[in-house]
Amino acid sequence: MAEVKYGQLDSWDDADVSTPNDFMRLLEGDNQVRVLTTPYQFVVHWVQDTSGANRKIRCARKNCPLCKKLVKAQYRWFVGVLDRKSGLPKILEISQQIYNGIKKYVNNPEWAEFYDHEWGKAMAYDVTIQRGPKGTNPLYTVLPSPRKRDLNDEENAIVANFFERVDINKFCQPATPEEVAEKMGGIDDAPAPSYAVGTKTVIKGSDGKPEIGRASCRERV
């Protein structure tokens, strides 16, 4: 890696403006990826601001202001992937629908021959995440590639460099109550009728902590 320059630069030509976007956005149509990690789990609240736009706020877990208001929460996951369109490793945030779509093949004995791989189950072949038009149900469909192919030397080097530089764990740590309160500015104070995780409704603990079990970030295989 080239030496990073800090502070005042000698000229306008010395600036590093090539910082990559490490997050992948799923576009309508086919999104082909190679899954590189096990899932990293975290919890979020979806809230609506005064403009009507939906906003996602990480749950603080303990003494969370949104939990105390009985605002719904959901599990979400990050996975490291190799985006086949760009050829670059990315962090992909997935919902329960995509999570279950990938897990289905992890637990399918028909794919057992692909399990012995350095990255773990369901990671020796590509998957295509199909995103339908807005309003489609289901919105996402996961399809595996029947062709088993190991990453080549160049891809392995790019992936190794990515994980030396990027720690996915830091993106799924709970927010602090103060951070949640700051991001709640302009949000309607009316509480939601229930507190939900995925499709299950649960009861909020007396201390404002959601009783959903520990949402820990899982390490890369």
**CB 123 within 8 Å of CB 89:** no
Instruction: Check pLDDT > 60 for residue 160.
Output: yes
Q: Are 208 and 67 a contacting pair, CB within 8 Å?
A: yes
The maximal CA–CA distance of the chain, rounded, in angstroms, is: 60
Q: What pLDDT, on the 0 to 100 scale, is given for residue 114?
A: 55
Beta bridge partners of residue 187, listed in sequence order:
49
CA pair distance 215, 39, nearest whole angstrom: 11
> Is residue 146 reached through a cis peptide bond, with omega within 30 degrees of 0 on the bond before it?
no
* pLDDT for the residue numbered 42: 94
Read off the pLDDT band of 55 (50, 70, 90).
confident
Range of lowest pLDDT (1-5, 26-30, 92-96): 1-5
Burial 76-110 (b: 16+ CB within 10 A, else e): bbbbbbbbeeeebbbbbbbbeebbebbeebeeeee
Residue 200 φ then ψ, to 5°: -105, 135
Higher pLDDT, 211 or 106: 106
Does the predicted model carry a pTM greater than 0.85?
Answer: no
| Residue percentage of the chain with pLDDT more than 90 | 47
CB atoms within 10 A of CB 184: 19
63: left (phi over 0), alpha (psi -120 to 50) or beta: left
Q: Residues 75-127: pLDDT tens digits?
A: 999 999 999 999 999 999 999 999 999 988 887 777 655 555 544 556 778 99
- 129 contacts 31 by C-beta, under 8 angstroms: yes
The pLDDT assigned to 52 comes to: 77
Average pLDDT, the chain: 77
3-state SS of 11-48 is CHHHCCCCCCCCEECCCCEEEEEEECCCCEEEEEEEEE
